[in-house]
Amino acid sequence: MSRTPISQLGEFGLIRHLTQGLKPGQSSTVYSIGDDAAVLDHKGKRTLVTTDLLLEGIHFNLEYVPLRHLGYKAVAVNVSDICAMNATPTQITVGLGISARFAVEDIEEFYAGVRAACEHYKVDLVGGDTCASVNGLTIAVTCLGQADDKDIVYRHGAKPNDLICVTGNLGSAYLGLQLLERELQVFRSTQHDNLAKATEHDEAIHEKFEGREYLLERQLRPEARVDIIQALRKAGIKPTAMMDVSDGLSSELFHICTQSKVGCDIYEDKLPIDYQAVALAEEMNLNIVTCALNGGEDYELLFTCDIRDYEKLVPLDDVYIIGHVTPAEFESDKPEQPANLRLIPRNGNPMPLTAQGWNAF
């Protein structure tokens, strides 16, 4: 199949090519792509803005990440940040730094994922930028959302006796990544062997992935929990504090507790973990609780809510109560950081919960 050099279209030609046929669906989109900036009218509502930067070699590896999935994920992780504020995502912009090894068809594939995510989350693609890059692919997505001021949830609102809840399950995305990385290393080793051995590996890799599709999906194509935000509103529940689980549950708990000046008790036997994750962790000699606490990229919602909302919480699908908020205890040398973030294991002996999730630096 012939491939089209990006230089053949040029920057603005590429933008027109990738965005042709896009029609705004949000009433707040006054003017979309085609000028120096999009024009939005939110009619008195609060506008929320979040940006995520994804760098090849740091956040994704194109040896096993399909470009279409990458486009979808780039949108989903930004939508997740808007959901974490209890807001409704409405628009996105996409910026790309593209190296010479990519052709138009590659960027088309990436944008196919972007379009699919925009359609799924009902957000409008209203602009962005493209630029040459000497270091692979760089992706910068900005997502806008809206909410009434009274509905916005911050990280600093948790209070003692609040329930601590999480959606979905934890650790699956991390284990999906471990599976991909393991098989990549095996594949690379076959590059030095003969073709027959490489073919044998291709057949074997399908066996390794069989029955673990869910873990791969959680890593390659995660979903933002817009459905949970809608379910909470329908149930009449407003969380007191909320974050999405991007860097790992332990890190997100650290952020909420530090900013809210509270402690927490989390129960090991209440952590929601998928059976595929448990099986793979055992196979790879990994501690599944450590994976669930520190793995990251789950993009589930972690939130606290008033204990009086317990009866409303219980019927909600895919929402799990994993602990409760406690009054803060501080050490003299760290007066700004609560010292009593605790994990309660199955044996009942509390142990310190430390933030060991993803750190960009």
CATH of the domain at 260: 3.90.650.10
> 326 lies in a domain?
yes
Q: Phi, psi (5° rounding) for residue 345?
A: -70, 175
Half-sphere exposure of 39 (CA within 13 A, CB side): 5
Q: What is d(CA 60, CA 220) in angstroms, rounded to the nearest whole number?
A: 9
Q: Of 128, 111, 160, 99, nearest to 34 (Cα)?
A: 128
Domain coverage including residue 341: 155-176+220-352
State the greatest distance between any 2 C-alpha atoms of the chain, in Å, as a whole number. Answer: 66
* Helices marked H in 21-100: 67-83
Q: What is d(CA 85, CA 190) in angstroms, rounded to the nearest whole number?
A: 46
Indicate whether 231 and 108 sit together in one domain.
no
pTM metric for this prediction: 0.89
Two tokens, residue 145: 């959302």
pLDDT recorded at residue 236: 97
Contact 247, 255 (CB under 8 A): no
Contact 326, 160 (CB under 8 A): yes
CATH of the domain at 113: 3.30.1330.10
For the chain, residues with pLDDT lower than 70 are: 35-37, 191-207, 356-361
Indicate whether 79 and 29 sit together in one domain.
yes
pLDDT recorded at residue 361: 41
- Any idea which residue has 């332990």 for tokens? 250
Please report, for residues 68, 170, 247, the alpha-carbon distance to residue 62 in angstroms, rounded to integers and kept in the order given: 11, 24, 21
Domain count, the chain: 2
Single-letter amino acid code for the residue at 276:
Q
pLDDT recorded at residue 309: 97
For residue 336, the cross-strand partners are none
> 131 lies in a domain?
yes
Q: What is d(CA 296, CA 315) in angstroms, rounded to the nearest whole number?
A: 27
pLDDT recorded at residue 114: 98
> 215 lies in a domain?
no
Indicate whether 125 and 165 sit together in one domain.
no
Q: Phi, psi (5° rounding) for residue 28?
A: -80, -10
pLDDT recorded at residue 204: 57
pLDDT recorded at residue 205: 58
Indicate whether 171 and 318 sit together in one domain.
yes
> 264 lies in a domain?
yes
pLDDT recorded at residue 153: 93
Contact 303, 159 (CB under 8 A): no
Residue-wise pLDDT tens digits, 298-320: 999 999 999 999 999 999 999 99
Query: Among 136, 151, 166, which residue terminates a domain?
Result: 151
Indicate whether 137 and 162 sit together in one domain.
no
Indicate whether 115 and 163 sit together in one domain.
no
First to last CA, the chain: 40
